[in-house]
Amino acid sequence: MFSVRTTMGSIFIIATDTLICYLLFGIILPSLAYSPPWLSLASPYGHGTFIILTLVVIVSMSFTRLYSFIEYIYPIDLLKRILPSFAFSFGTIATMGFFIKSVILLSWRLLLPLIAIYICLAIFRFFVFFVIRENRERILILGISEQAREIIRESHRKKFRGYEIIGIVTSFSDELDTKVNAIPILGLIDDVQKVARNYAVDSIVITLRERRKKLPLDELLRCKVEDNVRVQEGLAFYEKVKRKIIIDDYLKKSWFIFEEGFFHTSIHGVIKRTQGIIVSSVLLVLMAPVLLVIAILIRRESPGPVFFTQERVGRNGRPFFLRKFRSMYVDAEKMTGPVFAQENDPRVTRIGRIIRKTRLDEFPQFINIFKGDMDLVGPRPERPVFVKKLEEDIPHYKLRHAVRPGLTGWAQVNYPYGDSFDDSKEKLTYDLYYVKHFSWYLDLLIILLTIKEVIFSKGR
């Protein structure tokens, strides 16, 4: 599951934003000149209209990452996110007004409720950010390791993420009164309770690699029982703040066995499969004219088949044939052999570059989704030749095949396109996070972020 703090915080913000939008649309729009009688809170048609307009604003705000509960945004950064959201909302609602021939939604009068809404939402954001900043969790790190340094680097990168690292306790007395990436060493491990009390610590994060005879169990137990201080594993804390699972040689199989998550109920599978069938069949029918035009353009530009079919590795390692619109010249790999696609790849055709940029080349994969080879959301499927090598070189790589591969995934919305071994290793950290936290909430978030990327044309 997602951390309660993140999930409940996001739900609280979305619910409050929804209420603000709905009420202001319902109060301001009916009071404007030329407003039709049915556009009011007393009319069911009015309710439906206000709900649709509210959804437009909420979705546009999600595109600009205004629902990151634990992330503090400076005023100038908030403005940079709100303005594009405002423009998107205005443009979308005005377009709706054009099609339904609504004078209110097409005129400058629409600006009045939108300006009022976004001012109220900005004020609410500042209130939330103030509460977060004033109630940050005070963290004491136990032990100096690369994991500790990575956590500290993350805290510097996002200073107001809902926690504050106040210091470190170490095993070695010669490290006292020094700093690690500007974080002070406050004492020895054996004095952890004293340090925690002196600095009003809320949580102790354990990042020691070697713990035998080094971990002060009695001190930590007293911290937890007597002082109500939370004791957390470094891996769990890292996962919470980074939303990915760290991959290294120290991550043992036992961690995957005893850690919560990585458990998928049959009802989840049935719901996800049903969603895949419904969404894929509807989109394939609705988009048929567009797909036909793309197919004609592909054939006109270069000889060869319209579809590119390639073997990929699916759930539990079972192979399947993935379909895409062909975006490269025929026999593009004759000279290079199997290689990852690259940015500005010379093998890509002109129409191929366009459909890659807009992600339309991926659309035939809805056929794979309909057949059950893939889901809407999941780790992206790789080729067997790459999978074999990656499973040999990257610990726990095989675990990403515990779920069906997807058209989009957590790695795709969090990490830019990459074609190297290091990129594959980094993407695995996000794939394993998805496998562990598999849920409808995470799927919905990934779909919304993917729509945002498609709209802003971030394809390769």
The rounded distance, in Å, linking the Cα atoms of 371 and 271 is 15
pLDDT at residue 4 is higher than 50: no
pLDDT at residue 5 is higher than 70: no
Q: Under a CB-based contact definition with an 8 Å cutoff, are residues 117 and 82 in contact?
A: no
Question: Which residue reads 């680097």 in tokens?
Answer: 153
pLDDT at residue 165 is higher than 60: yes
State the maximum Cα–Cα separation within the chain, in Å, rounded to a whole number: 78
Q: Write down the pLDDT at residue 278.
A: 95
* Percent above pLDDT 90 for the chain: 40
Please provide the average confidence, as pLDDT, over all residues in the chain.
Answer: 84
Q: Write down the pLDDT at residue 249.
A: 57
pLDDT at residue 405 is higher than 60: yes
Choice among 22-31, 150-159, 272-281 with the minimum mean pLDDT:
150-159
pLDDT in tens, 232-259: 988 888 888 888 887 765 567 777 777 7
Three state DSSP letters for the chain: CCCHHHHHHHHHHHHHHHHHHHHHHHHHHHHCCCCCCCCCCCCHHHHHHHHHHHHHHHHHHHHCCCCCCCCCCCHHHHHHHHHHHHHHHHHHHHHHHHHHCCHHHHCHHHHHHHHHHHHHHHHHHHHHHHHHHHCCEEEEEECCCHHHHHHHHHHHHCCCCCEEEEEEEECCHHHCCCEECCEEEEEEHHHHHHHHHHCCCCEEEECCCCCCCCCCHHHHHHHHHHHCCEEEEHHHHHHHHHCCCCCCCCCCHHHHHHCCCCCCCHHHHHHHHHHHHHHHHHHHHHCHHHHHHHHHHHHHHCCCCCEEEEEEECHHHCEEEEEEECCECCCCCCCCCCCCCCCCCCCECHHHHHHHHCCHHHCCHHHHHHHCCCEEECCCCCCHHHHHHHHHHCCCHHHHHHCCCEEECHHHHHCCCCCCHHHHHHHHHHHHHHHHHCCHHHHHHHHHHHHHHHHCCCCC
Q: Write down the pLDDT at residue 259.
A: 77
R_g (Cα) of the chain, nearest Å: 26
Q: Under a CB-based contact definition with an 8 Å cutoff, are residues 6 and 69 in contact?
A: yes
Asked whether the whole model's pTM tops 0.75, one would answer no
Question: CB burial class (10 A; 0-12, 13-18, 19+) of residue 249?
Answer: exposed
Q: Where in the chain is the domain with CATH 3.40.50.720?
A: 136-242
For residue 380, give Cα distances in angstroms to 12, 322, 430.
32, 11, 11
Q: Classify domain 136-242 by CATH number.
A: 3.40.50.720
Q: Write down the pLDDT at residue 3.
A: 40
pLDDT at residue 208 is higher than 90: no
The closest alpha carbon to 215, from 230, 233, 199, 198, belongs to 233
Q: Write down the pLDDT at residue 160.
A: 46
The rounded distance, in Å, linking the Cα atoms of 248 and 97 is 54
The rounded distance, in Å, linking the Cα atoms of 29 and 110 is 8
pLDDT at residue 431 is higher than 80: yes
Neighbours of 336 (CB within 10 A): 9
**Long-range Cβ pairs for the range 22-28 (8 Å, 24+):** 22/50, 22/51, 22/54, 24/113, 24/116, 24/117, 24/120, 25/49, 25/50, 25/53, 25/54, 25/113, 25/117, 26/50, 28/112, 28/113, 28/116
Q: Which residue has the higher pLDDT, 386 or 340?
A: 386
pLDDT in tens, 41-70: 778 888 888 999 999 999 888 877 777 654
pLDDT at residue 265 is higher than 90: no
Residue 280, token pair as written in the block: 């894929």
pLDDT at residue 7 is higher than 60: no
Q: Under a CB-based contact definition with an 8 Å cutoff, are residues 363 and 291 in contact?
A: yes
Q: Which residue has the higher pLDDT, 236 or 311?
A: 311
pLDDT at residue 409 is higher than 90: yes
Q: Under a CB-based contact definition with an 8 Å cutoff, are residues 325 and 308 in contact?
A: yes
Q: Which residue has the higher pLDDT, 441 or 311?
A: 311
Neighbours of 403 (CB within 10 A): 24
Q: Write down the pLDDT at residue 141.
A: 95
Residue 375, token pair as written in the block: 């889901």
The rounded distance, in Å, linking the Cα atoms of 366 and 322 is 10
